[in-house]
């Protein structure tokens, strides 16, 4: 009888553990993707000009936004930044979203230091999964 009771307890434990399985089936764990291109293929800009992009964003469930920032090569190496601009947020929606000739950030200041800069695009979906893409540009 002890054996039978022990087996019943083990079977009950197995059934309880199996029924408490993960609820990950409904959780979005897939990162969004993007194809981001500068409208100016050379990537060379002058002070006072605008940075325009064409982009295609994709996600399996729902896109949220794209956060755009910029850093100078000097600030990437720990030096002071040359262009202190607030991050730009592009609102996205649906599972596919396209932009054409869209301005990002502010226009390039006329008194900016010339040099190498890096644009960073953080693409988020509604579950806050994200992917980061970078594009190098030159200001001269």
Share of the chain above pLDDT 90, in %: 61
Q: What is the pTM of this model?
A: 0.77
Helix (H) or strand (E) holding 4, with range, is helix 2-19
Q: Which pLDDT score, from 0 to 100, does residue 110 have? A: 87
Token pair listed for 116: 């190498």
Q: Which pLDDT score, from 0 to 100, does residue 75 have? A: 55
In angstroms, how far is CA 57 from the centroid of its own chain? 10
Contact 28, 60 (CB under 8 A): yes
Domains of the chain (ranges; CATH) run: 31-139 (2.60.40.2550)
**Contacts (Cβ under 8 Å, ≥6 apart) of 70:** 83, 85, 105, 117, 118, 119, 120
Which of 107, 116, 104, 118 lies closest to 68 in space, CA to CA? 104
Token pair listed for 1: 């009888």
- Could you tell me the sign of the dihedral formed by the alpha carbons of 60, 61, 67, 68, in that order? positive
Note the pLDDT tens digit of each residue in 51-88: 999 999 999 999 999 999 998 866 555 545 566 677 89
CA dihedral 127, 56, 66, 107 (to 10 degrees): -170
Q: Which pLDDT score, from 0 to 100, does residue 105 have? A: 92
């Amino acid at each position: 009888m002890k054996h039978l009771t022990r087996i019943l307890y083990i079977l009950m434990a197995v059934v309880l553990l199996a029924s408490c399985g993960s609820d990950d089936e409904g959780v979005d764990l897939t990162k969004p993707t993007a194809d981001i291109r500068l409208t100016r293929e050379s990537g060379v800009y002058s002070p006072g000009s605008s940075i325009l992009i064409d982009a295609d964003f994709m996600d399996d469930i729902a896109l949220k936004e794209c956060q755009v920032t910029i850093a100078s090569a000097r600030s990437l190496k720990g030096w002071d930044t040359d262009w202190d601009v607030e991050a730009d947020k592009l609102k996205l929606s649906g599972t596919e979203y396209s932009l054409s000739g869209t301005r990002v950030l502010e226009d390039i200041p006329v008194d900016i230091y010339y040099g190498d800069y890096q644009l960073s695009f953080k693409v988020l979906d509604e579950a806050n999964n994200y992917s980061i893409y970078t594009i190098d540009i030159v200001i001269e």
